[in-house]
Every structure is written in C-alpha cells, then in structure tokens.
Amino acid sequence: MTDPRYAKLAHLLTSYSMGLSSGDNVLIDLMDTPDEMGIELIRAARSLGAIPLLDVRHSRLVREVQLHTTSKHAQLLCDIELARMQKVQAYVAIRGTNNSCEGSDVPSDKQVLYSKTLRPVLDYRVNKTRWVVLRWPTSSMAQAAGMSTEAFENFYFDVCTMDYEKMSHAMDPLVQLMDRTDKVRIVGPGTDISFSIAGFNAIKCSGLRNIPDGEVYTAPVKNSVNGVITYNAPTLYAGTRFEKISLEVESGKIVKAMSSAKTSDRLNHILDTDAGARYFGEFALGVNPYILNPMSDILFDEKISGSLHFTPGAAYSEADNGNRSAVHWDMVLVQRPEWGGGEIWFDDQPVRKDGLFVLPELSQLNPENLK
C-alpha cells in the first residue's frame, strides 16, 4: 500500500503549488524518486484535467552524461529540452539521491560548460511556466541532517505539507516593509555588510515554487554591496562541500573569497565562471519554523528559521538587478543564538535580532506563530 502522505503531497503540488487546471500540460521530472510518488503525481494531475508528461532520471547516469560532455553535445541537449519545456504550462521536479556528492569528480570545466549551455532551459522554466521543485527524502539526506531515516521522513512530510497559505498571509507585512526599504545592514560574527535594495520588488515564497518553502527575497543594487560576510551553514555546490565561506566585497564585487578544508581554490574557480558570479543576485530571509539546522541541501537550508541567504550570481527576473551569470549560489547564514546570533537592520531600524523579528507587524513570522 502506498504511503498516504504521497497522495497528500501530490495534491499540494498539483492543486496549490502549480495550480493545474483542465488542459494544462505538465512535465513531471523525477530523479531517483520512487515510482509510487510519480504515480500519485500523474493521478493528481489527471484528476484536475491536466495532461502529464514524464521524464525519469538517475543521478549516476546524469554524472556519466556530464563527464564527457562537449559543446555540441550540451547544445543538442539544450535544444531538445528547451523545445519540450516550451510545450508545457507547468513543471514539477523531484530530486532524490543516495549520494549527494555524485558529481564531485566531474571536471569543473565540464560542469561549467554543461550549466552555461543549458541555462536557457532553466530561464524558460523559471520565467514562463508555473513550476515547483523539491527533494525526495533519502538515507543520505537523513544522515546529513543527523537523523534516523524514519525521523527524517516524518520531518520531511511535516515541513513539505505545512499550512503554506497561513505563511503566505504572515509574509505580507515583510514584503511591504522590504518594498519601502533602501539600506540593509547585516551584522554578526565575522559579518558586517551593507547594501541597498531600493527599487526592487520583494517576493514572498510560500509553497508556490519550492517545497519546502519559507523565504522572502529581493535583490541588492548591484554595485551597492560593501563589507564582509561569513556564512556558517555548510553548502554543497557542484558536488563539493564548502564550510565557513567568507566573502569580502567592494562596490558590489567579491574581491576575496575563502573557505575551510582546502576548498578555497575550488570556491574561487566557481566564482570565476563568468563576470556575474562575483556579484550578488539575491538577498532573502528564511522563516520556515520546522527547519532549524542545515543539512547541505539548499532547498531546505535557505528556508531555515532565523536565517538569511545572500547569493552570488544571477538575479531572478521578479527582482532583477541586472546581474547575469551561470551561477546562482544560495549561501546561508543562520542568526539564531545557538549559531552565534546576529542582527538585520533596515534603514537604521532593527528588524530581526538573533533570528526573531522584533517589529510587532512581523511577529506572525516568528516560529511560535507559524506552526
């Protein structure tokens, strides 16, 4: 018998996140995900009158494809995948893997070539479809989270099927505040950085694009960023795990980048992918009350309660500061007391201290009010 939580999640994804309706074409893109979940998604889509298309992948096979890719090969994949994406109105991707470092031995130049060449597929999907992406709970994810497999699965379904409509309403005052804010300052251990967000929309993320969800984001004025920021959440990018990343920034550009465990060269290689990789494309506050600690999975880590992420690389079209890059790397800083604390100020007014919002109009975003 299929776990009933699969059907509950499939219903949330198809009816709430993508808002499928009769006649919609929806691409269901699965990697290392149980067939039973795919079946529930197909059934849920059909129950709404949508037309499901299916793509099934495996991370070991994707690694093999990338290992020996060429410009001609990557462009062919781009042409085929873009043509298919242009035929759908909605897209859902579920990614599971038993080894989060499966791509760690793919040469950096191959990874850069692959990601840059296929970027038009991602751009079309993000800007032209109703999309939602999520991970699938695996033993490796449970291990990264320091949890048993069963405990992690329970956590996963709790956080992925929470009341996102309630979260959406609680986000509205923060969106309004960010829309009228000019200067942002972030302070904490190893961090004192300032920038402007004037002129860019604040966008709430409440279960319509990522599951789990729980962030409000905008973009910094590209050349306004100055100072230093030290991220305390480990991050996995292009198959490599990075810890204690510290970035020094002058007039928007990352002029010095360091990380621990002899990964600084790899960090700088990624930041040299293109000119835009050393500028920032996103600033966001994480508010999901069920996600408390990093697990080197960005779809979870960027939503951590009391966190922020400040992202080298491409900006999103909804909050577009003009930065273009094949890189979009959500690096996370957790500011709750057990992670060292910290403060966020908007226009010289304290907004959040040690992970909790201090303005009355934002209190509904604190964990005790969202659960």
92 near 18, Cβ under 8 Å? yes
Q: Cα–chain-centroid distance for residue 95?
A: 13
248: amino acid identity, one letter: E
- Measured at the CA of 323, the angle between CA 255 and CA 265, to 5 degrees, comes to 35
The predicted pLDDT at position 226 comes to 98
Is the pLDDT at 184 greater than 80? The verdict is yes
The predicted pLDDT at position 225 comes to 98
The predicted pLDDT at position 108 comes to 86
Strands across the sheet containing 203-205: 203-205, 215-218, 280-286, 307-312, 332-334
Same domain, 104 and 172: no
Name every residue whose Cβ is closer than 8 Å to that of residue 126 and which is 6 or more positions away in sequence.
Answer: 316, 317
Is the pLDDT at 303 greater than 90? The verdict is yes
Q: For 347-352, what is the mean pLDDT?
A: 98
User: Is the Cα dihedral 369, 367, 306, 206 positive or negative?
Assistant: negative
Same domain, 252 and 349: yes
Same domain, 322 and 202: yes
What domain count does the chain have? 2
Same domain, 117 and 201: no
CB neighbours (10 Å) of residue 24? 20
User: Is the Cα dihedral 280, 228, 356, 260 positive or negative?
Assistant: positive
**pLDDT tier, 333 (very low <50, low <70, confident <90, very high otherwise):** very high
Looking up residue 101, the CATH number of its domain turns out to be: 3.40.1830.10
What pairs with residue 52 in β-bridges?
A: 26
**Location of structure tokens 């972030």:** 186
Same domain, 203 and 128: no
Is the pLDDT at 1 greater than 80? The verdict is no
Q: For 109-136, what is the mean pLDDT?
A: 93
Same domain, 174 and 245: yes
Is the pLDDT at 288 greater than 80? The verdict is yes
The predicted pLDDT at position 106 comes to 92
Same domain, 12 and 116: yes
The predicted pLDDT at position 55 comes to 97
Is the pLDDT at 351 greater than 80? The verdict is yes
Rounded CA gap, 31 and 198, in Å?
A: 39
Q: Specify the 3-state DSSP secondary structure of 360.
A: helix
Domain boundary among 103, 128, 160: 160
Same domain, 217 and 286: yes
Query: Which of the 8 DSSP states describes residue 262?
Result: T
Rounded CA gap, 201 and 210, in Å?
A: 19
**pLDDT tier, 299 (very low <50, low <70, confident <90, very high otherwise):** confident
Domain boundary among 160, 195, 214: 160
Digit-coded pLDDT (tens) for 218-233: 999 999 999 999 999 9
Same domain, 131 and 225: no
How far CA 20 is from CA of 10, 42, 72, 269, 291, in Å, comes to: 12, 12, 36, 41, 28
User: Residue 105 class from Cβ within 10 Å (0-12 exposed, 13-18 middle, 19+ buried)?
Assistant: exposed
Digit-coded pLDDT (tens) for 30-46: 999 999 999 999 999 99
Residue 120: give the domain boundaries: 4-160
The predicted pLDDT at position 68 comes to 93
Name every residue whose Cβ is closer than 8 Å to that of residue 239 and which is 6 or more positions away in sequence.
Answer: 101, 102, 103, 104, 105, 106, 111
Digit-coded pLDDT (tens) for 161-174: 999 999 999 999 99
Arithmetic mean of pLDDT over the chain:
95
Same domain, 330 and 303: yes
**pLDDT tier, 98 (very low <50, low <70, confident <90, very high otherwise):** confident
The predicted pLDDT at position 296 comes to 85
Same domain, 156 and 169: no
The predicted pLDDT at position 287 comes to 97
Closest C-alpha to 241, from 258, 261, 257: 261
Q: For 9-37, what is the mean pLDDT?
A: 97
Q: For 3-18, what is the mean pLDDT?
A: 96
Domain boundary among 143, 160, 177: 160
Rounded CA gap, 286 and 214, in Å?
A: 6
Digit-coded pLDDT (tens) for 258-287: 999 899 999 999 999 999 999 999 999 999
Is the pLDDT at 21 greater than 90? The verdict is yes
Rounded CA gap, 230 and 192, in Å?
A: 9
What pairs with residue 193 in β-bridges?
A: 186, 227
Q: For 311-332, what is the mean pLDDT?
A: 96
Peptide bond into 212 cis (omega under 30): yes
User: Is the Cα dihedral 293, 63, 123, 49 positive or negative?
Assistant: negative
Q: How far apart are the first and last CA of the chain?
A: 30
The predicted pLDDT at position 46 comes to 98
Q: Specify the 3-state DSSP secondary structure of 160.
A: helix
The predicted pLDDT at position 42 comes to 98
Q: For 68-96, what is the mean pLDDT?
A: 97
User: Is the Cα dihedral 104, 105, 111, 112 positive or negative?
Assistant: positive
Same domain, 230 and 178: yes
